[in-house]
Structure 1
Amino acid sequence: MEILLPFLPAFAIAYSILLVGASSPGPAVAMLMGISVGQGRSAGLFACAGIATGSATINVLTIAGVGLILSQAAWAMMILKAAGSAYLAYLAYGAFKKALHPPRIAAQVVARQSGTALFTKGYLLQVTNPKAITFWLAIAGVGATAHAPLWVIALFVATMWVISFACHAAWALALSAAPVRTAYNHARRYIEGALGAFFAFAAFKLITARS
């Protein structure tokens, strides 16, 4: 357990970025809402599992790719941190823009499908989303698993899967109820403002943190 302690601060930063990012509504939320409303909440959870597994896939690939790059050039971490910070700043800008002009969120119409098809739909949505890939590169810039043994990396990937699943499942379950969607749309301005403030803070912390 003592081996894990040095990695916990970076874990906490990565967790907080994922927690807020996965809680920010986007195409996945609209899809999940449509599935939950049209096919039931259990169907929505199958899609959530696919999204979380897609996130885990990108997580593993970014960890492997970033590790390879950093093993060849130590200065690459600064470039990665700068790119990650820029992306988080872009997310902050987008959130503040939505706070000023909040769009209404509506469920997509989704035909009834099997659990396997729903899982695959969620998985493909995530792994083919350029924003998701860039987001995970920003998380990789935190360096949470730098020089970590394999079991620490496995723990990091597993816990990140749980966070991704839990956040998307919360959307699928909550927004399947019409009163919750109405309340959310009324509060969207304040939610987006809070998200913008968080992403701006995360961008500042990432670019100013020591490697």
Structure 2
Amino acid sequence: MTWALLAMAGIGLLVNHFQWLHLSLQLVGALYLIWIGTKMIGGAAKPLLMEEPTAMSWQAAMCRAYLISMTNPKSIVFFCSIFGLVMPAHAPIWFYGVVAALCFLLSALWHCSLAFCFSNQGVANYFLRFKCRIERVMGAALVILGGLLLWVR
């Protein structure tokens, strides 16, 4: 959520003043999607390292997750890429508020769903069995999406 807000604020301010930057961000965002998709396809066959779960309070888990997110440079690149691609150059301020709220809601739902699902050993084993195929399909989807975004620009 923090990176999303920072990316929206900075990108919103800059793209309103520099139209060429808006186009550049869209192109870089599309190239990033292609790059991350090819990395997923290439790394799909690598085994997933599993760690034993550690007991911690929900507050400690939230703090740890936040720190991991804030120190992960892929987070800011991801949000800058996405917002560079989809945010209109002259969006009203309320639009940014709606996007921020949706980012928070979707992120919370996604991460809680992942934690809930993958805490089930059956689901985790099922994913591991099909990990290679799933990651290749998702990687291909990102490459196609990035290519389509380049094509329409």
The TM-score with structure 2 as length reference comes to 0.88
Match of 1:180 among 120, 123, 133: 123
Q: What is the match of residue 103 of structure 1?
A: 47
Q: Deviations over 1:114-141 (max 9, x none)?
A: x332222211111221011111111012
Pairwise mapping of residues 1-211 of structure 1 onto structure 2 (< 5 A)? Answer: 56-99=1-44, 101-107=45-51, 109-113=53-57, 115-210=58-153
Report the AA paired with residue 42 of structure 2. Answer: K
**CA deviation string 1:131-163 (max 9, x = no partner):** 111111110122335322222221111112111
Q: Which amino acid aligns with 1:123?
A: Y
Counterpart of 2:148, as a letter, is: K
Higher relative contact order (CA 8 A, sep 6+): 2
User: 5+ unaligned residues in a row in structure 2: which ranges?
Assistant: none
RMSD over aligned Cα atoms: 1.8
After superposition, give the CA deviation of every residue in 1:22-73 in whole Å (9 maximum; x if it has no partner).
Answer: xxxxxxxxxxxxxxxxxxxxxxxxxxxxxxxxxx211111111112222332
- 2:16, 2:90 within 8 Å by CA — same for their partners in 1? no
Task: Identify the residue that residue 50 of structure 1 maps to in structure 2.
Answer: none
TM-score (normalised: structure 1): 0.66
Question: Which whole-Å CA distance do the structure 2 matches of 1:145 and 1:57 have between them?
Answer: 20
